[in-house]
Structure 1
Amino acid sequence: MINREIIRLKVVQITYAYYQNGGKNIDTAEKELFFSLAKAYDLYNYLLTLMVEINRIAERAVETAQSRYNRIKVGEPPSTKFIDNRFIMQLEVNKQLLDFRENQKKSWVNEEDFVRSLYKQIIETDYYKEYMASAESSYAQDRELWRKIYKNVICNNEELDSLLEDMSLYWNDDKYIVDTFVLKTIKRFDEAKGADQELLPEFKDEEDREFAHRLFRNTLLNAEYYRKLISDNTKNWEFNRIALMDLLIMQIALAEILTFPNIPLNVSLNEYVDIAKIYSTPRSGAYVNGLLDAVSKKLVAEKKLEKTNN
């Protein structure tokens, strides 16, 4: 699940913390990097459990409505279509998710009011009402309902973002990326796989783990060389006046460009320009782009960098 976009963001965060803390112990900083990446994977699992918890709130609501109907026998008995949704029932018994909930001791028990508010939002949506009114009943329809719920109610939810930030500082910038993986997971679910449906792994393969290790190590171990490249190509601006975050982003970008020849140059440049726009000043994107472009062209001309933009 952890992709290179998340890895780059975490390397920027941990590199900044490393220098802020005096830059003394690379091994400790690298452990912090991988702990931070593991927390991103925890968030992925935690957001999956949120859907299960919403369904539990729905079950209680149906039980209450059924009890009321049994007493007064007025109107129609409550529908169980939503709580009998085959996708969410499959997710609830997923073996990997059950292991996470047991081992991590993570739950939404203390956030019941918030979860209940999400359920209330859901039952007011047009797609929920259409689902409940439809005579059709299929696993595909059940799964699609939860994809819509996640995309429209859980994604871009400011209250949830604030709640998660309070739970873990590591989750501050992770959710918008992790959301894409939760949606991907929903689409991958297959009814035939039952409780054995595989969730996304923490790392796709060892190559991504090695990418994180080498990028972080080279960023710090070769910092003097990378900063000299930046300084030599700085025009009309004193090196010591460069914003620290801009400098670190360019330092990490050069570590990637020079360490990983198989990554196209334009991919690396675009990734770090986007990061600069998020983490630094409004003008940082253009500044970082211009300086990295100048450094790259010089390295290519000096035959110190052999890359294509493809």
Structure 2
Amino acid sequence: MISRRNIRVKVMQTLYTLEAQEQAGNPGEAAQKPAAKPADPQKILQKHFEQTRQLLSYLIYFITEVARYAETDSRLRSSKHLPSEEDLNVNIKLAGNEVLWKMMEDASLKKALDADKPQLQDNGELIRRLYLDLVATPEYQQYIAVQGRDKKSEKAMLEFIFSEKMLANETFVSHIEELYTNWDDDGEMISQLVMSYLAKPGSLDFQEIVSKEKKEFARQLLQTVIDKKEVVMDLIRPRLKNWDPERIATLDMILMQMGVVEFLYFETIPPKVTINEYIDLAKEYSTPQSGQFVNGILDNIHKELVREDKMHKINFKAN
């Protein structure tokens, strides 16, 4: 399901939000107005997880709507004033897809859709266009030409809708990017989850797409960075002597803090894994020079901790 990399991204984003809110405070205004209530870090983090679930449920919902549009198309065409023979004989095999109906009967998915209400989005025209694009393909024509049903072809058709008609469609991707700011962060992982779900409908708990272990890791990583900020900064500051603090990207500072916290308090994570993870995140989310910068700082801190025999990690659960 959600990887530790995605967990780190969501913790990073939460810390960035907190930092931005803190920097947004105006001392002049603060003297005249009551101080704003500090944001709850764990609630911000939970909201990121909810956005991931909403993205997942929306993609699956969209697959079902494109497939079920076969019945809508049949009804609309047969109700024309002067329907043609073709209008009166629209093939609706897709709407009865056996894998589709297993998905529609999934109690966990139903609960997620009831909560997220994807049907309220303005997506009807896009669903229609994707369906019409689908029926023009050789793959669809081959699918409806076979009268019987088998699990392999039923699954393959839904996978084709998702990967070749939805994800390969620029308009659809733009639609998703408009609705979900987390698409760039979660898109690849969520797409894999969708394909896994199509292979085995009912296999996901949409209310718990983050395992208890990973949710605890996220919660503790976030809280430990907040609680141990000064301890961590005492290790980082000496290495910033040749750098103008104001020119250090906020994300770089956050990533370094997270990395040092993992060095000190997360005993099951090897330091090399920590360093590599935060180098990658710095390269992807911060400036072109950030990967090298974060690598240098974290590597130096790690070497010093080893040299001074201070790499005795304390389990964060006991911290």
Pairing 1:101-250 to 2, within 5 Å after superposition? 101-107=113-119, 110-134=122-146, 137-155=149-167, 157-169=169-181, 173-189=185-201, 197-201=202-206, 202-234=208-240, 236-250=242-256
Structure 2 runs not aligned, ≥5 long: 24-35, 314-319
**CA separation in 2, counterparts of 1:260 and 1:108?**
43
**CA separation in 1, counterparts of 2:253 and 2:86?**
70
Q: 2:266 aligns with which of 253, 260, 266?
A: 260
Deviation at 1:27, TM superposition (A): 6.5
CA shift in 2, pair 1:56/1:211, >3 Å? same
Q: 1:272 aligns with which of 271, 278, 282?
A: 278
Whichever residue aligns with residue 60 of structure 1, its letter is T
Q: 1:297 aligns with which of 285, 303, 307?
A: 303
**CA separation in 1, counterparts of 2:171 and 2:146?**
31
CA shift in 2, pair 1:109/1:245, >3 Å? closer
Post-superposition CA distance 1:111-152 (Å, at most 9, x none): 111222222332344433333345663012111221232123
| Matched residue SS, 2:197 | helix
**CA separation in 2, counterparts of 1:256 and 1:133?**
57
Deviation at 1:29, TM superposition (A): 2.0
**CA separation in 2, counterparts of 1:253 and 1:85?**
48
CA contact (8 A) 1:203 1:209 kept: no
- Alignment correspondent of 1:194: none
Post-superposition CA distance 1:42-61 (Å, at most 9, x none): 22112111111112322211
Whichever residue aligns with residue 96 of structure 1, its letter is S
CA shift in 2, pair 1:72/1:247, >3 Å? closer
Q: Does 1:6 align with 2:18?
A: no
**CA separation in 1, counterparts of 2:310 and 2:125?**
59
Structure 1 runs not aligned, ≥5 long: 190-196
CA contact (8 A) 1:59 1:83 kept: yes
Deviation at 1:165, TM superposition (A): 4.1
Percent identical pairs in the alignment equals 29
CA contact (8 A) 1:53 1:108 kept: no
| Matched residue SS, 2:268 | coil
Deviation at 1:280, TM superposition (A): 0.8
Deviation at 1:207, TM superposition (A): 1.4
Deviation at 1:88, TM superposition (A): 1.2
CA shift in 2, pair 1:179/1:74, >3 Å? closer
Post-superposition CA distance 1:65-116 (Å, at most 9, x none): 4556995446993322222221112212222222222233332552111222
Cα RMSD, aligned residues only = 3.0
CA contact (8 A) 1:155 1:176 kept: no
CA contact (8 A) 2:55 2:180 kept: no
CA contact (8 A) 1:246 1:276 kept: yes
**CA separation in 2, counterparts of 1:268 and 1:126?**
48
- Alignment correspondent of 1:287: 293
Q: TM-score, normalised by structure 1?
A: 0.83
CA contact (8 A) 1:48 1:182 kept: yes
